[in-house]
Amino acid sequence: MAAHPTAFISYSWDDEAHKGWVRELATRLRHDGVDVHLDHWHAVPGDQLPHFMEREIRENNFVIIVCTPTYKAKSDKRTGGVGYEGDIMTAEVLTKQNHRKFIPVLVRGSWEESAPSWLRGKSYVDLSGDSKNTENYQELLNTIAGTRLGAPPLGPPPAGYKPPSHVQPPGRLRAEPQHVSLELFDRRLLIHDEAMRLIAHVIAKGTCTQEELDQFLRNTKDARFLFNEDVESYLRTLGNEALSVRVGQQKQEGLAYAPKSEEFQKSIAAWRDRLIWFTEQLDEVKKRFDPFLQIQE
């Protein structure tokens, strides 16, 4: 007998009606053959909740992210269980590039009002209003089950077709100046991977140790010789922002005796803003590094 697809639902406890809606969605999916895991069913008194959230996000085939304005606020501010789950999910996306594992579902408000910053630009399933009972639910189910309709078979090229002059032959790279030898590619890739490692660490931990910073600086010290001033400046900014996250976290610990003070609240806000900045760096790294990571034939 074939194994069932598995999914974990990440959601915020907006109110009793919303929690009931989520349970109904989970029940319907389980009825349709998806082994859905939900805190209401699978977290019991005595469980370590951080461990539960980490295990469910990492071990399930999919994570269904139920987006509402409340969910967005908690995710962007990194508060409560939603904030912690957001840290785990963004770190996994950064390190594993498994974007399709995380399926956003819109339930309340508009997409702009309900989507956390790290989900902006992603395709989502609209289950708001009465649409849970329409083809949108089937789209969600088909995505999890891997039964979405694919493209029909491709026929032969049209008679007399000639590729446009701007189209390169398949499997070939254009011989442009930025293409590099394999040795230089490897040296640049190490620095690229070090930047990704630092970003994933800061997002997952919410801070950065001095040892992590020292490793980053040590492993990227040759950037000025391998890239251009733009990449070198970006790496310097990345290190400075990681240091600021660390200092901000230490400042919060020092002000923990007065959690309602204005200084403490400002420190929290600045720290959260920097964490949100780190979640937005995946595209930035790609934009800055890709031109330098083309292997010459």
| 35 DSSP β-pair partners | 6
Residue 110 scores a pLDDT above 70: yes
Amino acid letter, 260: K
Residues 138 and 183 in one domain: no
Residue 270 scores a pLDDT above 50: yes
Residues above pLDDT 70, as percent of the chain: 88
pLDDT at 178: 47
Decide: 43 and 13 in contact? Cβ < 8 Å: no
Residue 268 forms part of a structural domain: yes
Average pLDDT over residues 211-231: 87
Q: What CATH number did the domain enclosing 40 receive?
A: 3.40.50.10140
pLDDT band at residue 282 using 50, 70 and 90 as cut-offs = confident
Residue 103 scores a pLDDT above 50: yes
Residues 141 and 199 in one domain: no
Residue 150 forms part of a structural domain: no
> Please, how many CA atoms are within 13 Å of residue 150, restricted to the half-sphere of its CB?
5
In angstroms, rounded to a whole number, what is the distance separating the alpha carbons of residues 125 and 106? 6
Decide: 83 and 77 in contact? Cβ < 8 Å: yes
Residues 118 and 239 in one domain: no
Average pLDDT over residues 35-48: 84
pLDDT band at residue 274 using 50, 70 and 90 as cut-offs = confident
Residue 117 forms part of a structural domain: yes
Residues 26 and 137 in one domain: yes
Residue 169 forms part of a structural domain: no
Which SS3 state, helix, strand or coil, does residue 101 take?
A: helix
Decide: 132 and 25 in contact? Cβ < 8 Å: yes
Residue 171 forms part of a structural domain: no
Residues 61 and 141 in one domain: yes
Please give the sequence-ordered ranges of beta strands (E in DSSP) within 74-178, or none if there are none.
Answer: 102-106, 125-126
In the chain the first and final C-alpha atoms are separated, in Å, by 48
Q: What does the mean pLDDT of the chain come to? A: 83
pLDDT at 176: 45
Q: Do β-strands 294-295 and 62-67 pair in parallel, antiparallel, or remain unpaired?
A: unpaired
Three-state secondary structure string covering 179-197: EECHHHHHHHHHHHHHHHH
Q: Where does residue 128 fall: left (phi above 0), alpha (psi -120 to 50 degrees), or beta otherwise?
A: beta
Closest CA to 244 of 267, 262, 264: 267
Residues 183 and 234 in one domain: yes
- Final residue in a domain of this structure, among 145, 161, 195: 145
- Final residue in a domain of this structure, among 100, 125, 145: 145
Residues 196 and 275 in one domain: yes
Residues 209 and 137 in one domain: no
Q: Which pair of tokens denotes residue 232?
A: 């070198």
Residue 170 scores a pLDDT above 60: no
Residue 82 forms part of a structural domain: yes
CB neighbour burial string for 231-257, b if at least 16 within 10 angstroms, e if fewer? bbebbeebbebbebbbbbbebbeebee
Q: Which pair of tokens denotes residue 168?
A: 């390169």
Average pLDDT over residues 181-207: 86
**278 lies in which domain range?**
179-295
Total domains in the fold of the chain? 2
Least confident of 20-24, 217-221, 266-270: 266-270
Residue 161 forms part of a structural domain: no
Residues 124 and 200 in one domain: no
Q: Long-range pairs for 270-278 at CB < 8 Å and ≥24 separation?
A: 270/244, 271/206, 271/245, 272/76, 272/77, 272/78, 274/241, 274/244, 274/245, 274/248, 275/78, 275/87, 275/202, 275/203, 275/206, 275/245, 276/76, 276/117, 277/241, 278/199, 278/202, 278/203, 278/241, 278/245
pLDDT at 107: 94
Average pLDDT over residues 157-176: 64
Residues 138 and 216 in one domain: no
Residues 118 and 232 in one domain: no
Residues above pLDDT 90, as percent of the chain: 32
pLDDT at 181: 66
Residue 257 forms part of a structural domain: yes
pLDDT at 171: 46
Residues 234 and 281 in one domain: yes
| 130 DSSP β-pair partners | none
CA-based R_g, the chain, Å: 23
- Final residue in a domain of this structure, among 99, 128, 145: 145
In angstroms, rounded to a whole number, what is the distance separating the alpha carbons of residues 111 and 105? 9
